Amino acid sequence: MSKEMVIPAITWILLTAILELVAFLTLGALPSQASEQAKVIDDAFFLLIYLVIPVFTLVVVFLLYSIMKFRVSGRPTVDGPGLKGHLPLTLVWLAVTTVLTGFVFFHPGVTGLLELRAEENKVPDIVIQAEAVRYSWKVMYPQEMVYSKKEIVLPIHMNTQFLVSSKDVLHAFWIPAFRVKIDAVPGQTTHVNATPTKLGSYETDTQFRLQCAELCGLAHSKMFLPVTVVSEEDYREWISLQKPIK
């Protein structure tokens, strides 16, 4: 390694170590993780952050070092000296980035999708129809023949399939605590699954809410519905108190 490479190389190693430590200490500050799907998505997010840090710091360190080391004062009057490529370094960079790209494509890319699809392919315990219209949600429980416009109540540890539709414009179905999101498209029915793993409610944690995540008009930010996760017994009791579908 040439002398000019020593300083940026050491800087890169130190900066990478610092940022990896910062990521390790701060990534736990993510919103509540309250579904099996949320764990899959968070694990993928953590892995990608850890992998991208050394690549990011490598580019930034050598870019800043080049600016400081080889800058020219004033307006240049002649072309700079020619630079000869370093074939071994080029091949190493190509090999490392290719392997890294292939790795994240298969994991968490393919493996994560397969894990999420495995839950979707199961016969759901609960089916919920969520209909969007500016600026509210109507939630129907077709198996129990009831509906609710005030909240969504779910039983813990039960695979729930959400059938999502829209009556007017494009909306998006998103529950932050579950990390699941799907577009609500006029004239279509989309679906997404979530299996709650944590008791909770909007009153104690604002991540327990159904939020429209697609800009749909002036009151877009107010288009949300509280979500509550309860025991199966409490869920059955809540269902018995809801309005029947006519």
CATH number of residue 170's parent domain: 2.60.40.420
> 37 and 99 in one domain?
yes
Boundary residue ending a domain (103, 120, 137): 120
> 132 and 112 in one domain?
no
Residue holding tokens 């910062």? 22
Query: Is the residue at 76 inside a domain?
Result: no
Query: Is the residue at 73 inside a domain?
Result: no
In the chain, pLDDT over 70 holds for what percent of residues?
99
> 149 and 55 in one domain?
no
Q: How many domains does the chain have?
A: 2
> 149 and 236 in one domain?
yes
Chain segment 36-93, per-residue pLDDT in tens: 999 999 999 999 999 999 999 999 999 999 888 878 778 877 887 777 777 888 899 8
> 171 and 96 in one domain?
no
**DSSP letters of the chain?**
--HHHHHHHHHHHHHHHHHHHHHHHHGGGSSP--BHHHHHHHHHHHHHHHHHHHHHHHHHHHHHHHHHHH--SS---SPPPP----HHHHHHHHHHHHHHHHHHIIIIIIHHHHHHHHHHTSPPSEEEEEEEETTEEEEEETTTTEEESS-EEEETT--EEEEEEESSS-EEEEETTTTEEEEE-BT--EEEEE-B-S-B-TTT-TTSEEEE-S--STTGGG-EEEEEEE-HHHHHHHHHTSEEP-
Burial of 197 (0-12, 13-18, 19+ CB in 10 A): middle
Query: Is the residue at 108 inside a domain?
Result: yes
> 107 and 159 in one domain?
no
Segments forming the whole domain that contains residue 177:
126-244
> 104 and 136 in one domain?
no
Query: Is the residue at 201 inside a domain?
Result: yes
List the pLDDT tens digit at each of the 246 positions of the chain: 567 778 889 999 999 999 999 999 988 778 889 999 999 999 999 999 999 999 999 999 999 998 888 787 788 778 877 777 778 888 998 999 999 999 999 999 999 989 988 888 889 999 999 999 999 999 999 999 999 989 999 999 999 999 999 999 999 999 999 999 999 999 999 999 999 999 999 999 999 999 999 999 999 999 999 999 999 999 999 999 988 887
